[in-house]
Amino acid sequence: MKKTALIFTLLIAFVFQPYAQEEKQNNWTVVGNVQYVTQHHWRGIGKGKLFGDAAAFEPSVAFVNKNWNMGVFTAASFDNVYKAVIPWVSFSPVKNLWIGVWDIYSAGEDIWTYNPFDFSLTESKHFVDAVVSYQLPWFPLSMKWATIVAGKDANAEGKRNFTSYGELSYGHRWNDFSVWGCVGMTPFGGLYHRAKGGVNNLELKFQYNFKLYQPISLPVFTKFTYNPLAEKFLFQAGASITIPYTFK
């Protein structure tokens, strides 16, 4: 099943490449974001030795146009447990389909001393995710599949586990208010849950975008998360300042 998931991800990339859009949009938008959250959450995982128990500061910058989305996300918790640098790049060969790679470098307190070029299977602080996502053109339902293809991800036999995560999400907006929810699952035991697979992430997010000065906005949100595999409930609140700038 693990090999099937990886092969499926790679096949999508090759199948859709010949249908790349002919029309190119030269306009690029730089999006700067500075975010504060009461506690960092990720795919049903929250408080603990990985993300700490304190609030986190999460600045990021993204470069976006019609076919490309790339940037760097950084984060640090105030209890000095969680520190991460996450560069990403994704490409859209056809409308609403994105294929990308996220290098999740999460070294915690060792981020300034650990070798950032170590991508070994058992000792690395990198978790390299290959991601495919698609949004239905007639309905705001999105599908995402992510598989760890490099970095730390060893199974009990010491071989690559190819930990995977699938997600269905729905979002709706009323002017400046929006609601978003998702159901996420891991198909087999891995980094999300060592013993077994199943639904590991149920999320519901409410957000309101305050307009400070066009085009600068201040999104304020709350998010409720439940992980059925871990039987853990998580709550997060946060705010961020988003500053986009478009150039040719």
For residue 5, what are its two tokens?
A: 């998931």
- The ranges assigned to domains in the chain are 2-17+31-237
219-239 as b/e, with b when 16 or more CB fall inside 10 Å? bebebebbbebbeeebebebe
pLDDT score for 6: 47
> How many Å apart are CA 124 and CA 118, to the nearest integer?
5
pLDDT of 175-207, one tens digit each? Answer: 999 999 999 999 999 999 988 999 999 999 999
Tell which CATH classification among 3.30.2010.10, 1.10.640.10, 3.40.50.720, 2.40.160.40 matches the domain 2-17+31-237.
2.40.160.40
User: Residue 79, Cβ neighbours under 10 Å: how many?
Assistant: 12
| Residue 163, pLDDT above cutoff 80 | yes
| Residue 80, pLDDT above cutoff 60 | yes
pLDDT of 27-48, one tens digit each? Answer: 899 999 999 999 999 999 998 8
In 3D, which of 145, 29, 23 has the Cα closest to residue 95?
A: 23
